Amino acid sequence: MKEGPDIAHVAALIGDPARANMLTALMSGKALTVSELAEEAGVTIQTASSHLSKLDEGGLLRPRKQGRHKYFSLANDEVAHVLEGLMGLAAGSGHLRKRTGPKDAELRRARVCYNHLAGDMGTQMFDSLIAQSHLILDGDDLNLTRSGQAFVTDLGIDLTDLRKNKSPLCRECLDLSERRSHLAGSLGRALLSRFEDLSWARRDQKTRVVSFSANGAKEFEQLFSVG
Amino acid sequence: MKEGPDIAHVAALIGDPARANMLTALMSGKALTVSELAEEAGVTIQTASSHLSKLDEGGLLRPRKQGRHKYFSLANDEVAHVLEGLMGLAAGSGHLRKRTGPKDAELRRARVCYNHLAGDMGTQMFDSLIAQSHLILDGDDLNLTRSGQAFVTDLGIDLTDLRKNKSPLCRECLDLSERRSHLAGSLGRALLSRFEDLSWARRDQKTRVVSFSANGAKEFEQLFSVG
DNA sequence: TTCATAGTTCGACCATAATCGAAGCATCTG
DNA sequence: CAGATGCTTCGATTATGGTCGAACTATGAA
């Protein structure tokens, strides 16, 4: 009767409150165990286990067993991307769960989107990379130019290492709430973790807030100035 | 307890099969009425109405009243973007709905889109009308030229009758799966019904297939040759 | 006006699936 | 080994929400 991918199934998976809570918890990029996710979602471990196996079957999660623990993380960047999109839609339609605490400003400024940098600083970095011609956007493809390769190598990132990875190096991740793009893919991931290594930034696992140190913010501003 | 946008609510909206069908139908970019969407989703009009008001409340749709019709389209391209992402996820996890039935070839060739002709023959007709300068496309507006007026009058269509109608005479209807336009509006409607009057074509209400008779196909080909 | 068509609202029915208790595996520790 | 911890499976209960018939409103046509 109908044609095309079964979008309803995937959406229904995300559409349950308990599962949605688990997925948002996983947006921090950190792998979590069944018990932790149960706590996040406010359900018992049995229920959580059932939910998680459904999410796994649906291809949204990547499970890893380690001893008697089972760690779950988001399956890939695409999943994170869709989740961010849904957050944008929910926020746009004024369907925020009331909570305009002080953390919101920080979240808008810099936050973790799965495992790369999002928020104002994320889009600033993206725009700056484009403006400096370190990245070029070709249709849907995003390519690192020669100067961009030098730039990130200078920053201390091993590109040949990254390329071993099967996942794409650069990816555009659209932040719907701001209608701006930021950088995902293995390079986006590497940049964020490099910022952490350099002690420029530190991420709060609980809230997805990325807080930059005074020095880190200065260095960042210098590297990714706009205009 | 929880923080952030209520992603579960939006996802649950998309997660119902009937609603998902409606949304995918609206991915064509065309505004559809409640009845059409009910047909798309395979539910009754009451059910469709209920679903649509929920989708509207959720900010996913943009409703427009036109006479006694109520047209729905996607609220904005952010919604479409999220839907695309979900399709990607569903496709990626091998959750495709099987798609190649025997009727599909017929549907691709000629089908009813609301009440005008779509499919290959629909786009052929559109292209031919443009090529013969019977129609000119001016931005978003589609205008019937003097020669076009003579052309359709020759075909036995009463234009003054059509113009009484408040609905636009010509409308472009984009078929995204083929990325081609075909002719909608009251003229598109009139053309299809004229084909039926002339016994050139007959439409199957169940499947939306439009089947041309041998003679009808020949006449059609002669009128709307391409090149 | 009267009839027809498009859509909404109400109410009742029913199916799906979320939930948790209890029991069962698996893995680590002493 | 026994005991503890992390997780899964089974079964029963429950509630949410999708569905349609029927009645109602609104717009257009004759």
DSSP secondary structure string for all residues of chain B: ---SB-HHHHHHHHHSHHHHHHHHHHTTS--EEHHHHHHHHTS-HHHHHHHHHHHHHTT-EEEEEETTEEEEEES-HHHHHHHHHHHHHHHHTT-BPP---THHHHHHHSEEETTEEEHHHHHHHHHHHHHTTSEEEETTEEEE-HHHHHHHHHTT--HHHHHHSSS-S-EEEEETTTTEEEEEHHHHHHHHHHHHHTTSEEE-TTT-BEEE-HHHHHHHHHHT---
The gap between A99 CA and C21 C1' (Å) is 35
Q: What is the rounded distance in angstroms from the CA atom of residue B38 to the CA atom of residue B52?
A: 10
The residue of A7, A51, A111 whose CB has the most chain B CBs within 10 angstroms, and thus the best one to mutate to test that interface, is: A7
Q: Confidence band (pLDDT; 50, 70, 90) for B43?
A: very high
| pLDDT 10s digits, B183-226 | 777 787 788 888 988 889 887 655 567 888 899 899 999 999 87
pLDDT of residue B101: 42
Mean pLDDT over A118-138 rounds to 84
Mean pLDDT over A106-124 rounds to 79
List of B residues 51-90 with CB within 7 A of strand C = 52-53, 68-70
pLDDT of residue A20: 96
- How much is the mean pLDDT over chain A? 81
| pLDDT 10s digits, B136-153 | 876 556 788 899 999 999
More confident residue, B81 or B47: B47
Indicate whether B124 and B76 sit together in one domain. no
Indicate whether B148 and B196 sit together in one domain. yes
| Least confident window among A34-38, A208-212, B97-101 | B97-101
Indicate whether A92 and A174 sit together in one domain. yes
Q: Confidence band (pLDDT; 50, 70, 90) for B103?
A: low
The verdict on a CB contact (< 8 Å) between B10 and A174 is no
Kindly state whether residue A196 falls inside one of the protein's structural domains. yes
More confident residue, A81 or B170: A81
Percent of chain A whose pLDDT exceeds 70: 80
Kindly state whether residue A1 falls inside one of the protein's structural domains. no
List of B residues 28-47 with CB within 7 A of strand C = 33-35, 45-46
Percent of chain A whose pLDDT exceeds 90: 26
Q: What is the rounded distance in angstroms from the CA atom of residue B176 to the CA atom of residue B25?
A: 10
Indicate whether B219 and B137 sit together in one domain. yes
CA atoms within 13 A on the CB side of B216: 17
Kindly state whether residue A2 falls inside one of the protein's structural domains. no
Indicate whether B64 and B119 sit together in one domain. no
Indicate whether B75 and B116 sit together in one domain. no
Q: Which domain-ending residue is among A42, A57, A75?
A: A75
Structure tokens that stand for B171 in this block:
């409308």
Query: Given a cut of 60, is residue A128 above it in pLDDT?
Result: yes
Kindly state whether residue B1 falls inside one of the protein's structural domains. no
Indicate whether B174 and B211 sit together in one domain. yes
Q: Show residues of chain A in contact with B79, CB under 8 Å.
A: 89
The gap between B115 CA and C6 C1' (Å) is 16
Kindly state whether residue A112 falls inside one of the protein's structural domains. yes
Q: Which domain-ending residue is among B92, B111, B130?
A: B92
* C-alpha radius of gyration, chain A, whole number: 18
Q: What is the rounded distance in angstroms from the CA atom of residue B60 to the CA atom of residue B74?
A: 6
Kindly state whether residue B185 falls inside one of the protein's structural domains. yes
Q: What is the rounded distance in angstroms from the CA atom of residue A40 to the CA atom of residue A54?
A: 17
Indicate whether B38 and B79 sit together in one domain. yes
The verdict on a CB contact (< 8 Å) between B9 and A42 is no
Q: What is the rounded distance in angstroms from the CA atom of residue A37 to the CA atom of residue A23?
A: 9
Q: Which domain-ending residue is among A75, A97, A125?
A: A75
pLDDT of residue A60: 95
Indicate whether A62 and A103 sit together in one domain. no
Indicate whether B63 and B171 sit together in one domain. no
CATH of the domain at B68: 1.10.10.10
Q: How many residues does chain A have?
A: 227
Whether the complex's predicted ipTM is more than 0.85 is answered with: no
B55: containing domain? 7-92
Query: Given a cut of 70, is residue A97 above it in pLDDT?
Result: no
Indicate whether B14 and B86 sit together in one domain. yes
Q: Name the packing angle between helices A214-223 and A120-131 (round to 10°).
A: 30
pLDDT of residue B167: 54
The residue of A16, A43, A89, A114 whose CB has the most chain B CBs within 10 angstroms, and thus the best one to mutate to test that interface, is: A89
Mean pLDDT over A100-105 rounds to 53
Indicate whether B60 and B155 sit together in one domain. no
Mean pLDDT over A107-128 rounds to 81
- How much is the mean pLDDT over chain B? 79
Nearest-CA distance from A222 to chain B in Å? 31
pLDDT of residue B183: 79
Kindly state whether residue B210 falls inside one of the protein's structural domains. yes
Kindly state whether residue B98 falls inside one of the protein's structural domains. no
Nearest to A86 among B10, B21, B97 (CB): B10
Q: In chain A, how many domains are there?
A: 2
